Amino acid sequence: MVEPHIVTVLNVNDDDASRYMVTRILEMSGHRVIEAGTGGDALRLAAELRPELVILDVRLPDLSGYEVAARLRANPETASLSVMHTSATFVTADKRVQGLDSGADAYLTEPFEPAELLATVKSLLRLRHAERELRQRADQLAEADRRKDEFLAMLAHELRNPLAAIMTAIGILERKSTEDAKETRMRSIIHRQTHHLARLVDDLLDVSRITRGKVELRRTRLDLVEVLRQALTLIRPVAEGRGLSLESTLPEQPLWLEADGTRLEQVFTNLLDNAAKYSDAGGNIRVQLFQEGVDGSARAVVRITDTGIGIPAHKLPTIFELFAQADETLERSRGGLGIGLTLVRNLVEMHGGIVYANSPGAGRGSEFVVKLPLAAHQLALKGDSLTAPERPRQRRILLVEDNSDARQALQDLLELWGHQVQVAQDGMGGVATALEIRPELALVDIGLPGLDGYRVAQELRARVGQEIRLVAITGYGGPEDRSRALQAGFDHHLVKPVKPDELNRLLTNL
């Protein structure tokens, strides 16, 4: 049999008779009572014994009850205690207001009936119990959220290892010509689906980071025309594979933004992928980019229209909400997690822009419009825009990777580019090999057995020197992971699966 919980009450009053009367009423109702005659004693006993309720007379010999209540509220250790003021003299409305403003939860005027005192005590204890349950629930939710984030990070890491091997392998195959039409078609399918899976993994993690405010933009001056061209290049095989035509109208002159190019590419790839996903074969996707406004109000406008399934009127107001779906049929033939448009909205708003959707209705296509503020120096020279990387010169490279498939695929790709590659499958082996061959560049996985990638970087910096270039290749892609890698001594941080073109640009620009 569970023992009933006994409530502890601190009764503070310098008048012995009044204090005795309240104590007797409470004890007869089954409460445990602690007594104090001064404000100083009340503060000390409240901190030491943590009663659930403080019955506090306003008039005390050292501190007023208002001051005691305020100090209880200011102390984190006693801030959650319930406080009830009592007074036989300070009974005007302004005094009651002063008592409640100081932190009291209730105010009783003496003399009061025992039933009134007990009813007020019960009411305050019910409120305190409800607050405690809500606080515990909030703590449980915070802990569950933390574990969810840890799980998502680990899930992404585990998914990115096989993705890295597949993406690198298909990158090698695509560089070898074939006359077999079926093989060409299979390569294209693997390429599209691998990139699609990689985007799903990134979106799943990014929506978690954004909702926690952990995504930071790495702004540079960039040409939005080039960003859109890159997004169109990525999505064109997907659109053509689904029997869709893809048209674009882009200005000849650059439109400069102060923005994070990777995040904007993510925005437009998501919108274009959605347009392709929700359009049937024979449909059309059209992309327009133009400038509206002048001077300080100038904005770049991207308009993406499709001839797909459209958006019902009742879905338009919530289409950017987390897990919202335009395809509500039981078979869910269009797929998707319902997080892409949430990412789009958040990333666009982080850039100071807006995004909205229009649709004439179901079966009549959709339109998504993104508006982004242009950089102050819009008239920058075209020569500052991004240029395609050249083929990197041959380098002596150390690759440290414990996943055998990912290691072999990346080694084959690097050697195909003409580099000299030595490999190691764990941290200790990586350090030993680096001391032996003195590579120009080390590509190091973070999640290595024994000596992890961070410690490998620290060892190489200490024993090989500052000349070696260190690149972290990892499934952990959060801002905190990048920061930790740079602090450990890495020069660059790449997230698996690394696209061959991205790695090629890095090797060229080192």
CATH classification at residue 74: 3.40.50.2300
Closest CA relative to residue 500, chosen from 271, 165, 245: 165
Task: Tell me the pLDDT tens digit for each residue of 45-80.
Answer: 999 999 999 999 999 999 999 999 999 999 988 988
C-alpha span between 180 and 481 (Å, rounded):
43
C-alpha span between 268 and 309 (Å, rounded):
19
Closest CA relative to residue 85, chosen from 41, 127, 39: 39
Task: Tell me the pLDDT tens digit for each residue of 378-398.
Answer: 544 333 433 444 455 788 999
Domain annotation covers residue 127:
no
Q: Are residues 179 and 238 in the same domain?
A: no
The per-residue pLDDT of the chain, averaged, comes to: 84
Domain boundary among 112, 136, 162: 112
CATH classification at residue 355: 3.30.565.10
User: For residue 174, is pLDDT > 80?
Assistant: no
Residue 208 sits at the vertex; the CA angle it makes with 204 and 209, to the nearest 5 degrees, is: 115
Q: Are residues 432 and 465 in the same domain?
A: yes
Q: Are residues 92 and 153 in the same domain?
A: no
Task: Tell me the pLDDT tens digit for each residue of 215-264.
Answer: 778 788 899 999 999 899 888 888 888 899 999 999 988 999 999 888 89
Helix axes 181-211, 340-350, angle to 10 degrees: 60
Burial, 138: exposed, middle or buried (Cβ in 10 Å; 0-12, 13-18, 19+)? Answer: exposed
Q: Are residues 236 and 370 in the same domain?
A: yes
User: For residue 268, is pLDDT > 90?
Assistant: yes
pLDDT of residue 210: 67
Query: In the chain, how many domains are there?
Result: 3
- Which one has a higher pLDDT value, 202 or 313? 313
Count other Cβ atoms within 10 Å, centred on residue 278: 20
Choose the weakest-confidence range: 74-88, 384-398, 496-510.
384-398
Domain annotation covers residue 307:
yes
Tokens matching residue 436: 């032996």
User: For residue 158, is pLDDT > 90?
Assistant: no
Q: Are residues 281 and 402 in the same domain?
A: no
- SS (HEC) of 160-197: HHHHHHHHHHHHHHHCCCCCCHHHHHHHHHHHHHHHHH
Domain boundary among 342, 368, 384: 384
Mean pLDDT of 471-476: 85
Domain boundary among 384, 406, 428: 384
Domain annotation covers residue 465:
yes
Which domain covers residue 36, as residue numbers?
8-112
Q: 């073109």: which residue's tokens? A: 501
Q: Are residues 349 and 311 in the same domain?
A: yes
Q: Are residues 267 and 210 in the same domain?
A: no
Structural contact between residues 482 and 452, judged by C-beta atoms closer than 8 angstroms: no
Q: Are residues 444 and 374 in the same domain?
A: no
Chain-centre distance of CA 406, in angstroms? 27
Q: Are residues 243 and 377 in the same domain?
A: yes
Q: Are residues 76 and 203 in the same domain?
A: no
Sign for the pseudo-dihedral over CA of 58, 60, 66, 69? negative
Structural contact between residues 167 and 194, judged by C-beta atoms closer than 8 angstroms: yes
Q: How many residues does the chain have?
A: 510
Element (H, E) at 102: helix 93-102
Helix (H, G, I), strand (E, B) or coil at 305: strand
